[in-house]
Structure formats: C-alpha cells, structure tokens
Amino acid sequence: MSIQNIMNVCFAICITLFIYQNQQLKSDVELLEFKLDTQEGTKKISDVNNLTTLLELEESIEAINKSMEDALIQRRMLFKRNDEIVAKLNIDDERETKNTKTLNQVIEAIKFNEKRLTDLAKALGDYFE
C-alpha cells in the first residue's frame, strides 16, 4: 500500500465520519425542533386554558356585579318603601293627634253641658218645690 492509498482511506474515513456526524446533528436538531414545537403547543394549550379561566372569571365577576346592582336596586326600593311607610305613619300620627284633641274638646263640651244640665235640673227642682 502506498501512502496515497492510506491517505485516501483516511480521507474517506474522515468524510464518512463527518457525514455520520452531520446526520446525527440533523437528527438532534429535528428532535429539538419537535420538542420545541411540542412545548409551544403545550404552552399554547396552557394559554388557551388560562384564557378560558380568565373568561370564566370575567363572567363570574359580571354575574356578581349584576347581582350587586340588583341588590342595590332592591335596597333603594326598600328604603323608598320604608320612607313612604314612615310618611304615612307620621300623617296617621298627626291625624290621631288632631282626633285626640277633637275628642278631648268634645269630652270637655259634654262635661260642660252635663254640668249645665245638672245645674238646670237642680234649678228646676228648686223652682218647682
């Protein structure tokens, strides 16, 4: 064998090793790209799940806000109704006070008339005796 043959064989072996290494590196790159795509897919799925959760939370918040608004409306209605009832009770109290005064005046008038009638009956009794 000559040195030229040995060099050719070594050269061929080096080329073969470079080709083999290149194939291995391509396989590694493809595997890493696949893993990256898978991770991005998982991340996208996670992002979708997070967005879904956020949308559900937003719907819950809107429902709570609506419930709070309804409760505030009912509260305002109850306070308004309460104010109306208090106003009617105040009017009733005023009427009751007026009626009490009127009844007291009537009672005083009846007592006065009763006294006058008693005095008149006594005077008539004295007159006819």
Element holding 85 (H helix, E strand): helix 3-127
pLDDT at 88 over 80: yes
Tell me: the pLDDT tens digits for 18-52? 888 888 888 888 888 787 777 776 777 777 777 88
Q: Which two structure tokens, joined as six digits, stand for 90? A: 């105040």
CA–CA separation, 27 and 21 (whole Å): 10
CA–CA separation, 68 and 61 (whole Å): 10
pLDDT at 77 over 70: yes
> Nearest 5 degrees, angle CA 27-CA 31-CA 36?
145
Q: What is the mean pLDDT of residues 3-12?
A: 83
Can you give the pTM of this predicted structure?
A: 0.43
